[in-house]
A and B are shown apart, each in its own frame.
Chain A
Amino acid sequence: MAANYWDSSQAKYWTFTKPELASLRTGLAQQHPNLHNKYPLPDQRHLSIYVQNQLTKLARRLNLRQQALATAQVYIKRFYLSVDIRKTNPYLIMATAAYLACKMEETPQHIRLMLGEAARQWPELGVTETSKIGECEFALISTLQSRLILHHPYRALGELQGVFGLSTEEAALAYSVINDCYNTDLPLMYPPHVLAITAIFLAVVLRPAGQPAGLQAHSASASASASSSSTSTPALSGNAAQTALAGFAGLKQAGPKLGKLVDWLAESKVDMEAIVDATQEMVSLYEVWESYSERACKEVITRFMREGGGIGK
C-alpha cells in the first residue's frame, strides 16, 4: 500500500479505464433520467474547476495543506461516480470531504471549525449543525468503501525532481500542473508516477532551461501550502499546452533536459501510452479551461439544490 502503489486499494478498486468511467456515468444518468434532462450540467471539468476553486478558498481560511486538498478532490470524484451530483448538496460534500481528508492526512480540523468556515465561505451550504457533516461523513466513507488512503503524484515528483535535475521553477510548474490534473479524470485512471512524469514533461517542454521563465505559463506560484496558490488560473494556457503536445514530435531536439527525460522513459518500464494520453488530457483541460465560467457552474448547482431532493436537505 503506502510503499507499494500496485497493492493499494487505489490501484485495485479505484482505477478505471475511460470506457469504464463513461459507463458508470451513463448508469447514473439512466437511474435519474428526469433529473438529467432537467439539469444539464456544464463540462465535467468545469465543475471540477469550480469545486477546486471553492475548496481552495476554504483551504485558505483554514490554512489547509495542498495534499489534504488533493485528497478531498479525489474523494469527491469517487463519490460522484456512485451518486448523482444533482441529488446532493455539493457544498456539504465539499466540506465533508475536506474534513475527512484532513483527518486522513493527519492534519485534523475540528468539525465545528470546518462547519463554521464552510458556512462563512458558502452561504449556499444551508447547514448549521455539525451532525450534518457527521452524517455526510458516514455516507462518504460508505460510498468510498473505507478506501481512504491515497497515492498522490506529489511524492513521485519529489523523487524524480533530482533524477531529471529540474530547476526550482520547473519543479514548481510541474507541481502546479499536478494540482490542475485534479480537474480531470486522470487521478481515477493512472498511477501517480505517470501523472508526475506527465507534469514534469509539460513543465520541461514549456520552460526549457536557460530560457526566460514562462512561455505562457500562468500561475507558477505553486507552493506547498494551498493557502498561497492562486485560485482560478491554470498552470498553463491552452496554447502553451498545444506547444507541449507538439513537443512530442521533435523531442530529441528540444534540449538536453528533455533528451534525458526521453532516454530515461525509454529505459524505464513506464507506460508511454499512458503518458501520451495523460498529456493529451491535460492539453485538452487547458483548452477547456479558457471557456470556464464560475457563474455558470454556480447557477446550475443553485438550481438543482433548490429544486432537487437529496443529501443535506
Chain B
Amino acid sequence: MNATPYTPQRHINDHYDIVGFISSGTYGRVYKAVSKRSSTRPPDVFKHPSGRIIEAFAIKKFKPDKEGAELQYTGISQSAIREMALCTELSNPSLIHLVEIILESKCIFMVFEYAEHDLLQIIHHHSLLPRTPIPASMLRSCMYQLLSGLLYLHQNWVIHRDLKPANIMVTSRGEIKIGDLGLARLFYKPLHALFSGDKVVVTIWYRAPELLLGSRHYTPAIDLWAVGCIFAELLSLRPIFKGEEAKQDSKKAVPFQRNQMGKIGEVLGLPKKQDWPLLQAMPEYPNLQTVNMHNPAVNRPVGLDKWYRNTVTNNNYSGQNGAPPPDDSALDLLKRLLEYDPLKRLTAEQALGHPYFIGDGTGKPPSGNCFEGLETKYPARKVSTEAHEISTGSLPGTKRSVLPDDGLLRPPQKKLRDG
C-alpha cells in the first residue's frame, strides 16, 4: 500500500512488548503486553482514570473475517464495532478499562488494562481437590462489584448479553471488571426489535427463560438472570443449569432449547402462568408443554431452598476453618435473581439494595477488594510465551484450539453474531 492519509498515528509494535499469548476465540486472539522498553526513549506511561499506572495490558487482536494468503479489508464485524464504540464511550470502576485502539495493517488491536484473574479461573481453582468454598466475604464483594458495573451499563442503556464467569475479570487488587462487550448493545428505542438483530444471545447456560421462550422484546433483565446463574455457580462451583445447546438446523430457524429449559425446570420447576402473566404470549409457549415429556424430573423440582442447603453442605462451608457460610439472605437474593417473570426479577439497582449486601452486621458496604482479609493466593493467568509475535501479517494456518486454562468443560462458545 502506498502512502495515503490512512497511515495510522500509532503502531502497535512501537508502543508495546508482547509478553505472551492468552487465548483465542472466534473474534481473534488476546495477548498480554507491557509498555515498550527501548534504549532510545522512555516507555509510555498509561494511567487508569483512577490515577494509578497501568503495568500490563491485554491486547485483543481482531482478525479479519476471512483468512487467506493475503489479508483483505472485508469490513469490520458488527461485534467489533460495538465493542470498540461502547468501550470507548463507557468508563466505570467495574468495567474493564480500554486504553486505546490501534487500527493498523488491516487488523484491529484493542488495548485493555490487564486483569490477572477471571471468575471462571477462580471457580476452577476452588473446585480442585480438596474442594474449598469461595469465602463468604469474597462472594459478597464479587457480587456487589459485578452488580455495580451492571447498574452502570443499564443506566447507560447498554445490555451486556453475554455475562458468564469467563467474562468477569478480577484484578490482583481484587476488583471485579466486566469484560467482553462484543455482544453488548444499546437498547434505547432501537430502530428494530432487538431480536431481529441477533437471533441468539447469551451463552446457553446463562440464557434467561424469556430468551429460551423466544421473546422478541427482551430487556436488561436478561443480564440479571445471568448474574443469578453466576451467583449460583460461585456458591456451588459448577453451573447451576448445565444444559446442552440444540443446534440450529440448516433452515436457520432458531430451535427451541428444550434441554436447557429442562435443566432450569429440574431446579425451579417449569414456569406457570399464575407466576408469569405474559408466559402464554411467549412464542415458544406451546413447546414448553413438551419439556416434561423429555425430562420428567421437571415435575419434581428440587427447589432453590433445597438446592441451596445441599450446596452449602456439600461445599463444606461450615467445615472451613471457622469461615461462616453465606447467610440466608444469599438464598433470598438468588431466588429473586432467578425469578422467571422478567418484570418481577430484581433490577441491578434493587439487587444492590438487597439485605444480602448489608447483612454482615458491620453496616459497611462490601469491600471493593474481594480478596480483603483473605490469605488464598490464586494462580496467575497462564500466559504462553512461545511464538508470541503479534505480527500484523497473516495468522498462522493452525489455530490454537485449546485454551490454556480450559480444564473445565465449557459449552460451545458459538454465538450468532450478525453483520
**Which residues of A come within 8 Å of B, CB atoms?**
1-4, 8-9, 65, 67-68, 83, 87-88, 99-100, 103-108, 111, 130-135, 137-139, 141-142, 145-149, 155, 158, 310-311
Contacts and interface: CB of A to CB of B under 8 A. Distances in A.
Contacts of A111: 74-75
Contacts of A88: 5
B73 A137 contact: yes
B190 interface: yes
A2 B73 CA distance: 30
B193 to A, nearest CB: 10
B89 A134 contact: no
Contacts of B74: 111, 130-131, 134
B297 interface: no
B88 interface: yes
A100 B156 CA distance: 22
Given A130-B73, A138-B76, 19 more contacts: A1-B90, A2-B89, A3-B155, A3-B156, A3-B188, A65-B191, A68-B191, A83-B5, A100-B81, A104-B85, A106-B185, A106-B190, A106-B191, A108-B78, A111-B75, A130-B75, A131-B72, A142-B8, A149-B85
16 contacts: A1-B90, A3-B188, A9-B88, A67-B191, A83-B5, A104-B81, A104-B85, A108-B419, A132-B73, A133-B73, A134-B76, A141-B101, A146-B85, A146-B88, A146-B101, A147-B85
B96 to A, nearest CB: 15
Interface string B235-275: 00000000000000000000000000000000000000000
Contacts of A139: 4-6
B84 interface: yes
B4 A134 contact: no
The 6 closest A-B pairs by CB, nearest first: A134-B73, A111-B75, A148-B85, A2-B157, A1-B89, A131-B73
Majority SS of interface residues in chain B? loop
B334 to A, nearest CB: 29
Contacts of B321: none
Interface of B: 4-6, 8-9, 72-76, 78, 81, 84-86, 88-90, 101, 103, 106, 155-158, 185-186, 188-192, 197, 418-419
Given A106-B192, A111-B75, A135-B73, A145 B85 contact: no
B185 A134 contact: no
Max chain B C-beta neighbours (<10 A), residue from A2, A4, A134:
A2
A192 to B, nearest CB: 13
Contacts of B85: 104, 146-149
B218 to A, nearest CB: 15
A203 B160 CA distance: 39
B73 A138 contact: yes
B75 A137 contact: yes
Given A104-B85, A108-B419, A134 B157 contact: no
Given A83-B5, A106-B192, A311-B5, A3 B73 contact: no
Contacts of A107: 191-192
Contact of B89 (A149, A158, A310, A311): A149
Given A131-B73, A137-B76, A142 B157 contact: no
Given A108-B78, A135-B6, A2 B156 contact: yes
A231 to B, nearest CB: 22
Contacts of A145: 88
A273 B346 CA distance: 44
B84 A141 contact: yes
A1 B186 CA distance: 10
B298 to A, nearest CB: 36
A111 B72 CA distance: 13
A168 B6 CA distance: 46
B85, B157, B192, B419 — most chain A CB neighbours (10 Å) = B85
A148 B103 contact: no
A135 B2 CA distance: 13
B75 to A, nearest CB: 4
